[in-house]
Structure 1
Amino acid sequence: MEAFQWQQARSPGEAAALVTQTMAEAMLTLQNTPIAQQAILVKAGGVDMLDLMKEGLVNPLRLVDISRLAELQGISRGSDGGLRIGALTTLAQIAAHPGLRQSHAALAQAAAMAASPQIRNRATLGGNLLQRPRCWYLRSAAHHCLRKGGGHCFAFTGDNRYHAVFANHGCAIVHPSTPATALLAYHAQVELLHPQGQRRQVSLEDFFVLPEADMHRENILAPGEILTAVWLPPQMQTNRSIYFQVAEREAFDWPLAAVAVVVDLDAAGLCREASIVLGAAAPAPWRARQAEALLTGAIIHGETAEAAGEAALAGATPLAQNAYKLPLLATLVRRAVLAAAALPRDPRP
């Protein structure tokens, strides 16, 4: 780990000013290079940041600590009835929030299943969304992979047990955030603060970047921008949601497969709208659009839930060692659809 300066920000504006100042100084000597763009990094919980620094993936000249900024913490209701979750809100706070557990159950469940109790009490929602992939080739100093500017993705001919089964051409990472899977199912937006002070809101679906669009980044966060909040649209009384995942261990582990389902049902069980998102399946949370279309306008029962599970696999391109994810994902979708509709789970294993 290289030496670096540490500065505590007292406001988002001050953090933005420090970012602007340091980046301007770095550009004078380093030009517009990846090193210059990493000259200053913003941290909150620091769970992934310290790992990245130890692994040599980032070597900032200065770290700006925003962990004490009260305006970026907590959960509040907007004028439209939606919810604003500050980027510094911890996963433990999200998992325990009574309002979220009622209106956005899948998000509370996903946060409760992330990492371990110790990490959930430290890790923030913003940091969780921005964490780098956990691909061991990306994290290895001995492998100069595509995402680090190398010549090829080692996962294709190496150990790809935990890698992507969708959109895995060129780079086979999976997105490591469990809350992101649920947030995308709710059509969430992220609020971003530019170093010059401008704010913008971007849909979470547009925020993430697939390798085919840009091999070297996982999101559209501009150099120096700060993720300040996540916005959730208001939910109707007829909306129901759930999050399921399968992991090798119950705690302190990333899922092998995950799914978040949000459905809008009428009294007869007709699905007016469905949102199905797969986690641990692609370089970004992956919308199962064919499964969504199959459920929309249909009565949910065992057969339609099973058909949705099969439809969710459309377009999958598993690698040599991760085809086991496909039946896991299909089963999770089927069970989640039935659970969201409050129907008995299919008794098959």
Structure 2
Amino acid sequence: SAIPEFATISRVSTGLRVGAGATLSAVNESADVKASWGLLAEAANSVASTLIRNFATLGGNINQRPRCWYFRVEQFSDCYKRGGDFCFAVTGKNAYHAIIGGELCYIVHPSDVAVALLALNANAKVVGSGGQRDVAFDKYFVGPREDVMSETVLKADEILAEVQLPTPAANTRMAWIKIKDRQVYDFAVTSIAVAFTEEGGVWKDGRIVLGGVSPVPFRATVVEEALKGKKIADSIDSAAQRIASVARPMSENAYKVTLAQVLIKQAVLKALA
């Protein structure tokens, strides 16, 4: 980057600041990131190949366009995401499309690091001609139900300048799992990031976030609520099953519901181990 500050990774009194221009390799290799935010380092390291991570930036991965072969191919010009009135995934090939939060448009968000950042309760520093503002990652992404033509809150004259991560609470448990079709670099069929606190095996507070299942990184609050105040080992099976209550799979992607349930259990128990 021609602006050094844009790629800076630095500890501050409140946590960590990562410039949007920092490469994914820099994020993964940062001792500061690994020390307290290892979940982000793992997610960054799971993106594509080493060569791509050496050039790809944190901001670029967060703000990449959604995955959908109908949206990406010119011949489907009247797709809903392009301003048309029909989602071709509904009656077409939809094995990799959304199972949650679709209905109008079944794109999936492809970013791995965004899933981890939402689990880590991060904020985005947005800069534009009107000044700067901080946006929680809970509010950063825009799904098709809200505005099918937008994917983030960024305005035409704004950029993502920095990501800010709060210092995790003491003894925070974290885990990252990414399932791909191929065991080489690929997008996630489904991914999961968890970050939570517990005491004596009882869930106190935390976040469970899924990737590859929704037009935006999806926070599984229905599962978090089922775990709160309960013994994790005794409750995780039934809690994980609750993701089915918010899923609306199509003809070829119902397997993602089962996959999400399995990954929720695996990730929580992995973090707890």
TM norm structure 1: 0.76
CA distance in 1, matches of 2:272, 2:243: 18
Query: Which residue of 96, 100, 120 corresponds with 1:186?
Result: 120
Hey, what does 2:224 align to over in structure 1? 292
Q: Secondary structure in 2 aligned to 1:231? A: strand
Instruction: Confirm whether residue 239 of structure 1 aligns to residue 172 of structure 2.
Output: yes
Cα displacement (A) at 1:154: 0.9
CA distance in 1, matches of 2:52, 2:192: 22
Question: Structure 2: which 5+ runs fail to align?
Answer: none
CA distance in 2, matches of 1:180, 1:324: 23
Instruction: Confirm whether residue 164 of structure 1 aligns to residue 98 of structure 2.
Output: yes
Structure-to-structure mapping, 1:240-255, within 5 angstroms: 240-255=173-188
CA distance in 2, matches of 1:98, 1:309: 33
Hey, what does 2:241 align to over in structure 1? 310
Instruction: Confirm whether residue 336 of structure 1 aligns to residue 267 of structure 2.
Output: yes
The size of the alignment, in residue pairs, is 272
2:17–2:165 Cα contact (<8 Å) kept: yes
| Higher RCO (CA < 8 A, seq sep 6+) | 2
Cα displacement (A) at 1:285: 0.6
Cα displacement (A) at 1:96: 1.7
TM norm structure 2: 0.96
- Letter of the aligned partner of 2:168 in structure 1? Q
Instruction: Confirm whether residue 151 of structure 1 aligns to residue 85 of structure 2.
Output: yes
Specify whether residues 304 and 173 from structure 1 end up closer, same or farther in structure 2 by C-alpha distance, changes over 3 A only: same
Give the RMSD, CA atoms, in angstroms. Answer: 1.2
Instruction: Confirm whether residue 69 of structure 1 aligns to residue 27 of structure 2.
Output: no
Deviations 1:38-66 (A, max 9, x none): xxxxxxxxxxxxxxxxxxxxxxxxxxxxx
Hey, what does 2:144 align to over in structure 1? 211
2:195–2:207 Cα contact (<8 Å) kept: yes
Hey, what does 2:258 align to over in structure 1? 327
Deviations 1:102-134 (A, max 9, x none): 312221111111111111111101111111012
Q: Structure 1 segments of 4 or more deviating over 2 A?
A: none
Hey, what does 2:52 align to over in structure 1? 119
2:24–2:56 Cα contact (<8 Å) kept: yes
Cα displacement (A) at 1:98: 2.4
- Letter of the aligned partner of 1:341 in structure 2? L
Hey, what does 1:19 align to over in structure 2? none
- Letter of the aligned partner of 1:282 in structure 2? S
Find the structure with the greater CA-based Rg.
1
2:243–2:257 Cα contact (<8 Å) kept: no
Cα displacement (A) at 1:311: 1.8
Hey, what does 1:79 align to over in structure 2? 13
Deviations 1:18-37 (A, max 9, x none): xxxxxxxxxxxxxxxxxxxx
Deviations 1:167-204 (A, max 9, x none): 111000000101111110111110011124x1100011
CA distance in 1, matches of 2:222, 2:174: 18
- Letter of the aligned partner of 2:216 in structure 1? A
2:44–2:112 Cα contact (<8 Å) kept: yes
CA distance in 2, matches of 1:68, 1:136: 34
1:174–1:281 Cα contact (<8 Å) kept: yes
Report percent identity of matched pairs.
39
1:305–1:335 Cα contact (<8 Å) kept: no
Query: Which residue of 33, 38, 49 corresponds with 1:105?
Result: 38
Moved more, 277-286 or 101-110: 101-110
CA distance in 2, matches of 1:108, 1:141: 36
Cα displacement (A) at 1:74: 2.2
1:168–1:282 Cα contact (<8 Å) kept: yes
- Letter of the aligned partner of 1:260 in structure 2? A
Instruction: Confirm whether residue 200 of structure 1 aligns to residue 118 of structure 2.
Output: no
Deviations 1:63-122 (A, max 9, x none): xxxx32101112111222x11110011111111222322312221111111111111111
Q: Secondary structure in 2 aligned to 1:284? A: coil
CA distance in 2, matches of 1:74, 1:249: 33
